[in-house]
Amino acid sequence: MEEENNISRRKLLGGLGASLAAAAVSPILSAEAAPGPTAAPLQDPTTKYPRPPFKGQSQPWPGLASQMDPKPDHGETSYKGSGRLQGRKALITGGDSGMGRAAAIAYAREGADVAINYLPAEEADAKEVIALIKKEGRKGIAIPGDLRDEAFCKKLVDEAVRQLGGLDIVVSNAGRQQAHASILDISTEQFDWTMKTNIYAPFWIIKAALPHLPPGSAIIGSTSEQATDPSEDLYDYAQTKAATTNYVRSLAKQLAPKGIRVNGVAPGPIWTPLQVSGGATQEKLKEFGGNTPMKRPGQPVELASIYVQLAASDASYATGQIYGSAGGKGMP
Ligand code: NAD
Ligand code: MG
């Protein structure tokens, strides 16, 4: 083993010497060798994406990314993979739009096969995602259906396992957010809808997935800055995000001995259909993200690399963590 390490180290250093020598004689080679395949030019994050004021806009729930103005960036033209998830098999709920779509595109470009779940009303967005996954030469599997139904959650996992030929990444990302100025405006039906989507569905999906997940698998929950800094008009939603952060930490402890990691992503204000289909008031939407130190909302693509990092096997010691991305505001 010691000897093997020495040999591979010698080979590595030898190889490095050769490429350094080549770089010294060839400016073209050195220019190619310097930035990695995923390197992007240095850019000021404050001016990289649209800033408020935004046009007022409203769509019937659950909304479509394709109908938003400006259109969100999910990395369609920008995300470049480098084989970090080669051969992995992922299920992403809410994979048609927003953060789920950014994760789906990035996962495929990193070499994973991807199944996405979404609502039938979102077929148009989902079709675009499936086409992008397939363009990478990966399996792209569409499994529409309503996650408020326990039987469907089980069917979703079974179908993903069957069509992917296994499962080792579960991204529980779908979410329901409707703003209500007062607790008095929230009906029991609304409250139940939010709880079923944001708390029950991950419970049902993870339960169904667990028997299929080999050691090395990753579970990722989409939580929020709302978990720790709830807005006054998101009474029901914010508490589901506190629950998400909490289940991530509990399950991480429970599943670490099985070699399964559980982490969460806590976005700040991100430009997605959820916000224009009842998630934010028109007033808030027009100035969306303006109250962050970056003075703009995030775009879904800006979280893609976090979803990749948490799934990748080189993050093998990270579990029970919440990774934030909120433009300088909020604490994960
Ligand atoms: P999004 O609207 O693009 O994604 C949410 C998805 O949830 C929808 O596409 C839909 O497919 C799915 N969904 C909702 N109810 C469902 C149901 N009953 N059955 C099946 N699917 C259902 O918006 P997004 O902002 O990308 O949301 C993704 C996650 O990020 C959510 O959990 C949300 O709470 C969280 N989040 C969003 C923000 C933000 O500012 N946009 C901030 C923090 C956290
Ligand atoms: Mg959607």
User: What does pLDDT average to over the chain?
Assistant: 91
Specify the pLDDT at position 330.
76
- For ligand 1, atom 21: residue with the closest CA: 118
Q: How far apart are CA 123 and CA 142, in angstroms?
A: 9
The pLDDT of 36-64, averaged and rounded, is 91
Closest CA to 255 of 212, 219, 205, 308: 219
pLDDT at 18: 39
Instruction: List the residue whose alpha carbon is closest to atom 2 of ligand 1.
Output: 274
Note the pLDDT of residue 140: 99
What pLDDT score does 36 carry?
A: 53
Measured distance CA(235)–CA(184) in Å, rounded: 11
Rounded to an integer, what distance in angstroms lies between the CA atom of residue 304 and that of residue 309? 9
CA neighbor of 319 nearest in space, from 263, 266, 265, 264: 263
Q: Is the dihedral of CA 150, 192, 244, 270 positive or negative?
A: positive
Identify the pLDDT of residue 50.
Answer: 98
Q: How much is the pLDDT for 38? A: 58
Distances (CA, A) of 156 to 161, 173, 260: 9, 14, 20
- What 3-state class would DSSP assign to 38? coil
Give the pLDDT of residue 10.
38
Please indicate, yes or no, if residue 32 is contained in any of the structural domains. no
Does residue 195 form part of some domain? yes
Residue 331 vs residue 243, higher pLDDT: 243
By residue range, what is the domain housing residue 304? 90-325
Contact present, 248 and 262 (Cβ < 8 Å): yes
Q: Which residue has the tokens 């400006």?
A: 70
Give pTM, 2 decimals. Answer: 0.91
Q: Is the pLDDT of residue 226 over 60?
A: yes
Tell me: pLDDT of 99 over 70.
yes
Which two three-digit tokens encode residue 29?
Answer: 């080679």
The tally of domains found in the chain comes to 1
Which pLDDT does position 289 carry in this prediction?
A: 98
Assigned domain for 55 exists: no
Contact 147, 174 (CB under 8 A): yes
Q: Is the CB of 217 under 6 A from ligand 1?
A: no
Neighbouring residues of 214: CB distance < 8 A, sequence distance ≥ 6: 166, 168, 259
* Ligand 1 atom closest to the CA of 297, numbered from 1: 40
Q: What is the pLDDT of residue 324?
A: 97
Domain with residue 248: its CATH number is: 3.40.50.720
- pLDDT, residue 214, reads 98
Each residue's pLDDT tens digit, 255-298 = 999 999 999 999 999 999 999 999 999 999 999 999 999 999 99
Q: Residues 191-219: what's their mean pLDDT? A: 98
Higher-confidence position of 118 and 38: 118
Count of residues making up the chain: 332
Q: What is the mean pLDDT of residues 92-119?
A: 99
- 107, 235, 237, 323: the catalytic one is 237
| Nearest Cα to Cα of residue 197 among 181, 230, 174 | 174
> Which has the closest alpha carbon to 206: 141, 165, 267, 261?
261
245 lines ligand 1 (CB under 6 A): no
Q: Is the model's pLDDT at 2 over the cut of 80? A: no
Has residue 59 been placed in a domain? Answer: no
The verdict on residue 193 lying in a domain is yes
* Closest listed residue to residue 202, CA positions, set 257, 293, 264, 266: 264
Separation CA 121–CA 125 (nearest Å): 9
Residue 9 has pLDDT above 70, yes or no: no
251 assigned to some structural domain: yes
CB of 299 within 6 A of ligand 1: the answer is no
Helix orientation angle between 235-255 and 201-209, rounded to the nearest 10 degrees: 20
Which tokens in the block code for residue 62? Answer: 């659950």
- For residue 63, give the DSSP letter: -
Q: State pLDDT tens for residues 126-170.
A: 999 999 999 999 999 999 999 999 999 999 999 999 999 999 999
Please write the tens of the pLDDT for every residue from 70-96: 999 999 999 999 999 999 999 999 999
Residue 13 pLDDT more than 90? no
Q: Does any domain span residue 17?
A: no
What distance lies between CA 33 and its chain's CA centroid?
30
What is the per-residue pLDDT for 132? 98
Do the domain assignments include residue 80? no
Q: Is the CB of 128 under 6 A from ligand 1?
A: no
